[in-house]
Chains A and B, each alone.
Chain A
Amino acid sequence: MKIGRRAFNQGLTGAIAAGIVGGASRAARAYTGPNVVIVRFGGGVRRAETIIGKASYAPYMLHVLAKRGTMLPDLTIAQLDGVDTSHAEGTLNILTGRYSGYQKVGSQGLAPLLEPTAPTLFEYLRKAFDIPSHQALLVNGEDRPQEEYLTYGGHTHYGVSYRSEVIGLFRYKIHKFQRILEEATAPEDVLADVAKQLDELRTQDYRGTAGRAGAIVQRFWDRWREEYGDTGLKNPRGDRLLTELAVRALRELKPRLMMINYQDPDYVHWGNASHYTRAIGIIDQGLKRLVDAADLDPHYRDRTVFAVVPDCGRDANALMSVPFQHHFNTRSSHEIFGLFFGPGIARNKVLDKPVDQTSIAATIGAIMGFKASSAEGPVLSEILT
């Protein structure tokens, strides 16, 4: 399957003709385009440890996947006033194609709660095509409940009706506690404790969407519970958990657009340099599992475009013992990379020119056949065949 520039233009023209751009009305067209998997190679990863030099902490991505697609070695986050190089911000840059496409609506501890003000890719897709929420998926880690809230924006013509579903332990815990209370087989003191924990989780869910998963997603979690139980100790942990959730989601939910928010390289904030390099390796292995799973599944084989992109880079501060400990808006933290591969993407190519992070959304829109109208960056037509 190929999605070239001509096909993209035809798709876009059709979309405009159908009145779906601009949000005039909800389209009910079936989606026949490629599946897209966005891998957020985060939180915060530099070029130095991934794509510079032959030896890399991510050898599978650099030496195997790069040959299957187009590498963007000079992807950057623009140095603009008010643009921070951090995780929720970078994720929203990718999802909305805008640098200021969000607003701060609160905070959880030290982490800001950011809400998109521009439509996300999930909203564009679900408004343009008849795709259920569980097929527009965000796979989140357990340490960042604040990233649960990147699923939809406050745009007039988009919003909650077109949100993505979220798969993550935060959601699973809510599901599990709801089930335990429904079953009512546990001792009373356990039930009281569960009810209390459920209330606490719900207080973190300020948008109130976490406990409203559809029946298909609830069955997904029921199967998860059957296999891993209620302890939370038997399932994979850290970013390996995200890979497991994503691979299961491919098998059971068949998402058309899925974003996986890897995050563990960010542990290096605490000063253990090996957390960063080890986490990059874990994501690289996760990429291999994801690609293998897609290659083995007829629903995804030759019909899936992968976009790999960090949310932000990291510092290259020679005055520190761990030069990449943080990502405090330094030049290096603006310098990232990208990789697209799959049908319709030029193979074994390096796009050797500066590319902006806001082009990711526009390009994914082009690949999937809708226009990310609020995106600031241009479509990367050079990577399309």
Chain B
Amino acid sequence: MTVSAVETAPMAFNPARGIRARLSGLISILIAVTLALTPFSAVLVLGWIMRIMRREIVIALCRQGAQRVKRKNAIAHIASVPAVAGMSRFPGWWRGLGETFRAGAKATVAVAIAVLPFGALQLLSWWAGWENSFNKGYEQAWVGPTIALIGIFIAVFVLMHLPMALAHFAAEGRIGAIWEITHIRRLIARTRWRYLFLSLFTVSLSAPLYIGQIMPTFIEGVFPHLAAASPEQLKAFAFRWHAGFTIYLVLVLLVLRRWAARLYARAAVADGSSRVIAMLARDMNVKVPEPARRPGRVAGTLSTLVTAAAWFAFVAALYVTQFANHAWWNWLNHPIIGLPWVFRPY
């Protein structure tokens, strides 16, 4: 059956099934929130999000086809194609746990390869720079700031590509996919303004997480009773605080990663160079449009500069946050783009 046939076929509406699906989705999200409370189980959440991204890419590809269809019809079509039928359902936790773990482990390695080099430089420059400043090492005072600047430059470069790189990784399922910079840059160029908005939203939605890290610094001013709280009361407060921001993180990631996946599908269709996309289109009997004309240079440069500025703001906010409430781990992981785990000291 072609997609257009699905579009014209009558869709049977089953309210009970719809409620069950929503309930199941809600339970999956709650489980994800619970697993995102520790760094080890957060690997599973990352895998779960990658599966969701892959599903979203397939749905978007189906909808991006020449015969543009509604989302529910695209899902119905996917369910009818044996090669991708498993992706018609929202990824849960009961089935495919092994696949989730494999996807999570691979994604963790891929993200670590992308993020750790600049994270390590930033951590090292912060530690060594202030260590040197404490010792008044005027002779080598340039070392810390220089390493920091190199780290910031690499961070901005990597982060501005990472949302698309993660989508590419989700589609391809290969760790190496995250380093296919030329291909990723080409995909970004195909969706430049949409990708810019995704970047701006990603950076903006990271603000509450930064605030969640800064706020404990002033917590006694906000909740004066904590000055006299017992360790148990503090632990309970810390748990509620952590859980609240973890809920926010998981919900935001669901929005941002699916958005990135849809952009990826759009870009891949417009670019016409992705082997996996071509294979999926063939499997699903989706007729994709001809590759679009490449965008102009001026607009491309402008959108690149604004995207870079947005991610520079992200990095600058990290420095401000670390000054307010320092934690070594937070140089190495950025929950909104890396392992979905908010650092909790207590």
Binding site for B on A (CB under 8 A): 142, 232-233, 237-238, 241, 264, 267, 269-272, 275, 278-279, 315, 317-322, 325-326, 328-332
- 26 A–B contacts, CB within 8 A, in A order: A233-B139, A238-B134, A264-B134, A267-B130, A267-B133, A270-B326, A271-B322, A271-B326, A272-B130, A272-B134, A275-B130, A275-B134, A279-B134, A317-B219, A317-B220, A318-B346, A319-B238, A320-B345, A321-B325, A321-B326, A325-B325, A328-B217, A328-B218, A328-B221, A330-B227, A331-B220
Name the contact of B126 in the complex, choosing from A233, A269, A271, A332 (C-beta under 8 A).
A271
How many chain B residues touch A (CB < 8 A): the figure is 33
| Interface pair B130/A326, CB less than 8 Å apart | no
Q: Report the separation of the CA atoms of residues A325 and B126 in the bound assembly, to the nearest whole angstrom.
A: 15
Contact (Cβ within 8 A) A320 B217: yes
Residues of chain B from 203 to 241 with CB closer than 8 A to chain A in the complex: 216-221, 227-228, 231, 234, 237-238, 241
Q: Does B135 contact A (CB under 8 A)?
A: yes
Known A238-B136, A270-B130, A331-B227; judge A317-B221 contact (CB<8 A).
no
Partner of A318, one of B127, B136, B231: B231
Specify which chain A residues have a CB less than 8 angstroms from the CB of B231 in the assembled complex.
318
Q: Are B323 and A270 in contact (CB under 8 A)?
A: yes
In the bound complex, what is the Cα–Cα distance between A318 and B131 (angstroms)? 24
A305 to chain B, nearest CB (A): 31
In the complex, the chain A residue whose C-beta lies closest to that of B213 is A320
Q: Is the CB–CB distance between A267 and B134 below 8 Å?
A: yes
How far does the alpha carbon of A90 sit from the alpha carbon of B327 in the complex, in Å? 28
The answer to whether A270 touches B221, judged by C-beta atoms less than 8 angstroms apart, is no
Interface centre among B130, B238, B322 (most CB of A within 10 A): B130
7 further contact pairs, Cβ within 8 A, besides A272-B131, A317-B220: A270-B126, A272-B130, A318-B346, A321-B326, A321-B343, A328-B221, A330-B227
Q: Is the CB of A321 within 8 A of B327?
A: yes
CA distance A329 to B224 in the complex (A): 11
In the complex, A275 Cα to B135 Cα: how many Å?
A: 10
Closest B residue to A279 by beta carbon equals B134
Establish whether residues B138 and A232, one from each chain, have CB atoms under 8 Å apart when the complex forms. yes
SS class of chain B's interface: helix, strand, loop or mixed? Answer: helix
Report the bound CA distance from A328 to B216 in whole Å. 11
* CB closest chain-A residue, reference B345: A321
Quick one: which of B131, B217, B221, B322 has the most chain A CB within 10 A? B217
Least CB separation from A237: chain B residue: B136
Most buried by A among B130, B231, B238, B326: B326
Evaluate whether A233 and B138 lie within 8 angstroms (CB atoms) in the complex, with A271-B126, A319-B241 already known: yes
Instruction: State in angstroms the CA–CA spacing of A326 and B219 once bound together.
Output: 12
Q: A232-B138, A271-B326 are in contact. Are A325 and B221 (CB under 8 A)?
A: no
Instruction: Give the chain A neighbours of B134 by CB distance below 8 A.
Output: 238, 264, 267, 272, 275, 278-279
Question: Which are the 8 A-B pairs with shortest beta-carbon distances?
Answer: A271-B326, A237-B136, A319-B216, A321-B327, A331-B227, A270-B130, A321-B345, A330-B220
Distance of A312 from chain B, by nearest CB (Å): 15
Most B CB atoms within 10 A — which of A318, A322, A332? Answer: A318
For the complex formed, measure the closest distance between the CB of B316 and the CB atoms of chain A, giving whole angstroms. Answer: 16
- Which A residues are CB-close (under 8 A) to B326? 270-271, 320-322, 325
In the bound complex, residues from chain A placing their C-beta under 8 Å from that of B131 are: 272, 275
Query: A142 to B136, alpha carbons, bound, how many Å?
Result: 10
In angstroms, Cα B219 to Cα A270, docked, is 19
A331 to B126 Cα, complex, angstroms: 29
In the bound complex, how far is the Cα of B323 from the Cα of A269, in angstroms? 7
Q: Closest B residue to A333 by CB, please name it.
A: B220
* CB <8 Å contact, B139 and A320: no
Residues on the B chain within 8 Å of A331, using CB:
220, 227-228
Bound complex: CA A209 to CA B115 (Å): 52
Measured CA separation A321–B220 after assembly (Å):
16
Chain B neighbourhood of A264, CB < 8 A:
134
Q: Which residues of A contact B323 (CB under 8 A)?
A: 269-271
Q: Specify the chain A residue showing the minimal Cβ separation from B238.
A: A319
List of B residues within 8 angstroms of A322 by Cβ: 326
Distance of A43 Cα from B187 Cα, bound (Å): 53
- Which positions 310-346 of chain B face chain A at CB distance < 8 Å? 322-328, 343, 345-346
Contacting A319 at CB < 8 Å: which of B130, B322, B346?
Answer: B346
Question: Which chain A residues lie closer than 8 Å to B228 at the CB level?
Answer: 331
Query: CA of A330 to CA of B226 in the docked complex: distance in angstroms?
Result: 10
Residue of B nearest to A275 (CB): B134
Which chain B residues lie closer than 8 Å to A318 at the CB level? 231, 234, 238, 346
Closest partner residue, chain A, to B229 (CB atom):
A318
Rounded to whole Å, the gap between the CB of A322 and the closest CB of chain B is 6
The residues of B that contact A330 with a CB separation of less than 8 Å are 220-221, 227
Residues of A within 8 A of B133 (CB): 267
Residues of A within 8 A of B345 (CB): 319-321
Q: Mask for B84-126, Cβ within 8 A of A = 1, else 0?
A: 0000000000000000000000000000000000000000001
For B138, B219, B220, B323, the residue with the greatest tally of chain A CB atoms inside 10 Å of its CB is B220
Q: Are A317 and B126 interface neighbours, CB within 8 A?
A: no
Question: With a CB–CB cut-off of 8 A, which chain A residues contact B127?
Answer: 272
Kindly state the separation between the CA atoms of A271 and B126 in the bound complex, as whole angstroms.
9
The interface residues of chain B lying within 8 Å CB-to-CB of A328 are 217-218, 220-221
> What is the CA–CA distance of A157 and B328 in the complex, to the nearest angstrom?
53
Report how far A330 CA is from B328 CA in the complex, Å: 24
Residue of chain B at shortest CB distance from A332: B227
Contacts of A272 in B (CB 8 A): 127, 130-131, 134
- In the bound complex, how far is the Cα of B171 from the Cα of A366, in angstroms? 79
Residues of B within 8 A of A325 (CB): 217, 325-326
Contacts of B328 in A (CB 8 A): 321
Q: Are B138 and A326 in contact (CB under 8 A)?
A: no
Assembly CA distance A315 to B136 (angstroms): 26
